[in-house]
Amino acid sequence: MTTSSNNSATALAHTNIALIKYWGKKNADLIIPYTGSLSLTLDQFYTKTQVSFDRQLEQDTLLINEQAVTDKSWQRVHDFLNLVRQQSGITENARVISDNHVPTAAGLASSASAFAALAAAASKASGMDLNERDLSRLARRGSGSACRSIYGGFVEWQRGSDDTDSYAVPIENPNLKDIRIVALTIETHQKPISSRQGMERSVTTSPYYPTWVKVVESDLKEIKSAISQNDFAKFGAISEFNAMRMHALTLSANPDFLYFNGMTLDAMNEVKRLRHAGVECYYTVDAGPNVKVICQTKNVDTIANTFSKILGPEKVTVAKPGPGIKYL
């Protein structure tokens, strides 16, 4: 298949917050994980990406938030576009223009929305018409968690064993509908150890990694049961436990490393204090210092006001379950 000059498409994808974490690749080239995972797509954080294939371009170009990018982010995008070219049969270079409404590499799943949007826009611009399952498989090759951002709401990434059966599926008709995430942006600059580096180190050096694989299997079953039974307390507790067990892998790696900072710990303690005071809420933390507080509608204002006083209102964002991929 060949394209005429300047085939273009634009897609918008939202980030997701992993409630049962993905942490560790069985196959780094194909991004096949050791475990399944489960996430919630959020409405407040998203990436909009336009991809235009143009035979007059001498190489792929990348603009993120109106800045030309030529570093390793460009290389990741270039490698991903090569995959799209290989699958679609086109040969043209591409112009990628991306607006990222998520702090990059700060533990707010910016790569999930970025590669989900890129996969959708690039596949459409190249002439492929992928269904959601195949789009999820393609997005996974850019960033593992991106496979979950193809869908809205609760999403499970089924680990699979190879490229054909490792993809995300939506949790259909969840009974747990009243859920809000209060996102605390404690830090916006890039973390010193990327998720990729952190996972690799945890897998290869933490003596607890084999136990983590078993724990996740159990946590996945339990959280899906909580979602189907509308059991918010069970749902929140499992999410919090699972996050802490993931971070235990970073502390037990060699050399050890930590994504938390002092304000992360303060925020986690404040969530516990609120909970003991009767405001039901739980925390989760991805690979970064930022904390997400899991709660229900009735407690959103109390939690948001509490953290606005501590961190400043500009660092507190209330999110609801968000939609899947949209083409613009």
pLDDT one-digit tens code per residue, 204-232 = 999 999 999 999 999 999 999 999 999 99
**Proportion of the chain above pLDDT 90, given as a percent:** 90
For residue 293, the domain's CATH number is 3.30.70.890
- 190 with 280, same domain: the answer is yes
| 16 is a domain residue | yes
Which domain does 57 fall in, by range?
A: 7-174
pLDDT at position 102 is 75
pLDDT per position as a tens digit, 112-137:
999 999 999 999 999 999 999 999 99
| 327 is a domain residue | no
- 159 with 65, same domain: the answer is yes
- 55 with 156, same domain: the answer is yes
Q: How many domains does the chain divide into?
A: 2
- 34 with 82, same domain: the answer is yes
- 168 with 185, same domain: the answer is no
Q: Phi/psi of residue 109, each to 5°? A: 60, 40
Taking the model in full, what pTM does it have?
0.93
- 206 with 271, same domain: the answer is yes
pLDDT at position 270 is 98
Q: Which of 119, 152, 174 is the last residue of a domain?
A: 174
pLDDT at position 187 is 84
pLDDT at position 6 is 57
- 165 with 283, same domain: the answer is no
| 79 is a domain residue | yes
pLDDT at position 125 is 98
**Proportion of the chain above pLDDT 70, given as a percent:** 96
Q: Are 156 and 169 in contact (CB under 8 A)?
A: yes
Place of tokens 């303690």: 269
CB count within 10 Å of CB 153 equals 19
Q: What is the largest CA-CA distance in the chain?
A: 63
| 328 is a domain residue | no
- 126 with 157, same domain: the answer is yes
| 253 is a domain residue | yes
| 325 is a domain residue | no
- 169 with 206, same domain: the answer is no
pLDDT at position 2 is 36
- 124 with 244, same domain: the answer is no
pLDDT at position 103 is 57
Instruction: Give the chain's length.
Output: 328
pLDDT at position 60 is 97
pLDDT at position 179 is 97
Q: Are 325 and 120 in contact (CB under 8 A)?
A: yes
- 169 with 248, same domain: the answer is no
Tokens describing residue 98: 């991306």
The ranges of the chain with pLDDT < 70 are 1-6, 103-109
For residue 31, the domain's CATH number is 3.30.230.10
- 213 with 260, same domain: the answer is yes
pLDDT at position 191 is 80
pLDDT at position 124 is 97
